[in-house]
Amino acid sequence: MQITKLARIALACAVVATGIAPALSAEPQGDDGPPLETVKTFDTFKLVGIGVSHEGRIFASAPAAQSGDKLVEVNAQTGAVTPYPDEAWNTPGTDTEHEWAVPQAMWVDKADRLWVLDSGRAVLTAAGQGAKPKLVEFDLGSNKVIRSYGFDGTVAPTDSLNDVRIDLVHGYAYLTNIGKRGSLVVLNLKTGKSRQVLVGDRSTFADPEQHLMINGQPAQTNDGKTVAIHADGIALAPDAKWLYYRPLTDHNYWRVPTSALIDAKLSASQLSHKVQYLGSAELTGGLIMDQHGTLYGGDLEHSTIVALDIDPATHKVKSRLFERAPGKLSWADGFAISQGYMYIADSHLWEVTFKNHLPRSGPFTIFKVKLGG
């Protein structure tokens, strides 16, 4: 049913009254958006993460893969796939420091270095130890490791690091933690020391009254529990002054000044008061922000991609449809931007992960789409 202008005014009043608004679906702007181009399809490689270098080198990860390569480079011209950085890193063994366990997410920083977040795993290896989470920095010129960061004493086995952004202005990495009650992790790239912040905060903990809906029903885990995924999507402003983030299974958007995040002198309460609520919009998975300050995310409940502009006067997000590809796009998960294109990893996650899944509607796919202006 079309939402009338009068109804929108009423909803705006509800925002003022309650502080948190019901989500509105993005409305088409006359077409389905710019053409969605297929870069690479996979049949069994369970795509989730994606990274693209300044020169257009494409990297993809399948963190849930039980066998075969977990992180690969894709030749953009031929579609050929090679294990990254080499076969040894993709071969299970006992050297968990130099092999992929759960390469969940990737990011290419402004210096064109590739960062891979490996969430680790709790299961025992042949050596009797679980693989600890790590953040690995690669030199793309040599494909060699520059540095690997661990999180001992910061995260527990019940935590689950999910996504990462690199702030070269201040020299920090910011990570989301979907585990336990949700949090952010702040990593000093110079010292290697990390802190977990905003633990269970209103901004990192998914609203228990909201749910990811699949065909009108809340998404469920395989053991029948309603899915609740906390701090998940993350994006860094072009000037690195703000970090944007949100839990996956509600409709709320938040941001916090990076100056506050890196200030270890702030108490938990003081940091929480620095967080800004940006309002309610589509329930999106991964987030990315372009050079103009526009957020993009995959609207998981409608299989579209939305653009979210931040109103400078109200500091609230306002969404608009950016891309709709009926029958083509399923779950827009990982994002990357390079050479004027946005790259999307379609993980089909809702079809292959949850109890109330449907048969997979198509291959795991890397798409790209031209960004405007």
What sign results for the dihedral spanned by CA atoms 15, 16, 17, 19? positive
Query: Is pLDDT at 31 greater than 90 in this prediction?
Result: no
pLDDT attached to residue 20 = 36
**Percent helix, strand, coil in the chain (nearest 5)?**
10, 40, 50
pLDDT, tens digit (0-9, with 9 covering 90-100), for 193-235: 999 999 999 999 999 999 998 778 888 887 888 989 999 999 9
pLDDT attached to residue 360 = 82
Which residue stretches of the chain are H helix? 5-18, 258-261, 268-274, 349-352
Nearest to 61 by CA among 142, 162, 147: 162
Return all residues near 89 (Cβ < 8 A) that are at least 6 apart: 71, 83, 98, 99, 100
Nearest to 293 by CA among 329, 252, 262, 337: 337
Nearest to 288 by CA among 331, 244, 321, 224: 244
Mean pLDDT in residue range 280-304: 95
DSSP 112: S
pLDDT attached to residue 357 = 63
CB 303 within 8 A of CB 285: no
- The model's pTM is 0.90
Return all residues near 68 (Cβ < 8 A) that are at least 6 apart: 44, 45, 62, 90
Query: Is pLDDT at 186 greater than 90 in this prediction?
Result: yes
Instruction: Give me the phi and psi of 11, to 5 degrees please.
Output: -65, -40
pLDDT attached to residue 6 = 33
- In order of their start, the domains of the chain are 31-370 (2.120.10.30)
Q: Is 271 helix (H, G, I), strand (E, B) or coil?
A: helix
| Residue linked to tokens 């998940």 | 232
Q: Which two tokens stand for residue 100?
A: 């992929």
Q: Which two tokens stand for residue 266?
A: 């702030």
* Distance in angstroms (rounded) separating the CA atoms of residues 368 and 40: 10
Return all residues near 86 (Cβ < 8 A) that are at least 6 apart: 143
Separation in Å, CA 136 to CA 32, 45, 222, 285, 343: 38, 22, 31, 23, 22
Using pLDDT thresholds of 50, 70 and 90, give the confidence band for residue 350: confident
pLDDT, tens digit (0-9, with 9 covering 90-100), for 46-85: 999 999 999 999 999 999 998 899 999 999 999 999 999 9
